[in-house]
Amino acid sequence: MKMDYKDNYFNFTFTADKSTGLYNNIVGDVYHSIYGALEEAEEKFIAPLDFINNYYSKPEIRVLDICYGIGYNTKAFLKKILQIKYKGKVYIDILEYDKNLVTISPFVKDTLFKTYPEISYILSSSFLEQIYENRNNVNLIMSAKNNKKFFEPFYCSLMEKYYYLGYSYNPKTKNNSFLHNIYYHCISSRIKKPFNGLKTNNFIIKPYFLDARRTVKQLSGKYDIIFLDAFTPSKLPTLWTLEFFKELNRLASQNCILVTYSNSSAVRHAMSDAGFSVGKLFDKNKRHCGTIASVNDNIIKNKLNEYDIGLMHTKAGIYYRDNALISTADEIIAQYKKEKLDSSLQSSSQFIKKYKMENNL
Ligand X SMILES: C[S@@+](CC[C@H](N)C(=O)[O-])C[C@H]1O[C@@H](n2cnc3c(N)ncnc32)[C@H](O)[C@@H]1O
Query: Interface residues with ligand X (CB under 6 A)?
Result: 31-32, 67-73, 95-98, 101, 211-213, 229-231, 236, 238-239
For the bound state, the minimum distance from the C-beta of residue 14 to ligand X, rounded and expressed in Å, comes to 14
DSSP 3-state helix, strand, coil percentages of the chain (rounded to 5)?
50, 15, 35
For the bound state, the minimum distance from the C-beta of residue 180 to ligand X, rounded and expressed in Å, comes to 27
Residue number with CB closer to ligand X (101 or 281): 101
- CA 296 to CA 95: how far, in whole Å? 24
What 3-state class would DSSP assign to 220? coil
- CA 177 to CA 173: how far, in whole Å? 6
Residue closest to ligand X when measured from CB atoms: 69
Residue number with CB closer to ligand X (239 or 295): 239
Residues 101/138, Cβ–Cβ less than 8 Å = no
The total of other beta-carbon atoms located within 10 Å of residue 217's CB is 15
For the bound state, the minimum distance from the C-beta of residue 360 to ligand X, rounded and expressed in Å, comes to 40
For the bound state, the minimum distance from the C-beta of residue 85 to ligand X, rounded and expressed in Å, comes to 24
For the bound state, the minimum distance from the C-beta of residue 88 to ligand X, rounded and expressed in Å, comes to 24
Residues 185/154, Cβ–Cβ less than 8 Å = yes
Residue number with CB closer to ligand X (82 or 101): 101
Residue number with CB closer to ligand X (133 or 211): 211
Residue number with CB closer to ligand X (183 or 244): 244
For the bound state, the minimum distance from the C-beta of residue 109 to ligand X, rounded and expressed in Å, comes to 13
Q: Strand (E) positions, 184-285?
A: 203-208, 223-228, 252-260, 277-282
* Nearest residue to 260 (alpha-carbon basis) of 297, 222, 223, 233: 233
Residue number with CB closer to ligand X (239 or 304): 239
- CA 132 to CA 120: how far, in whole Å? 16
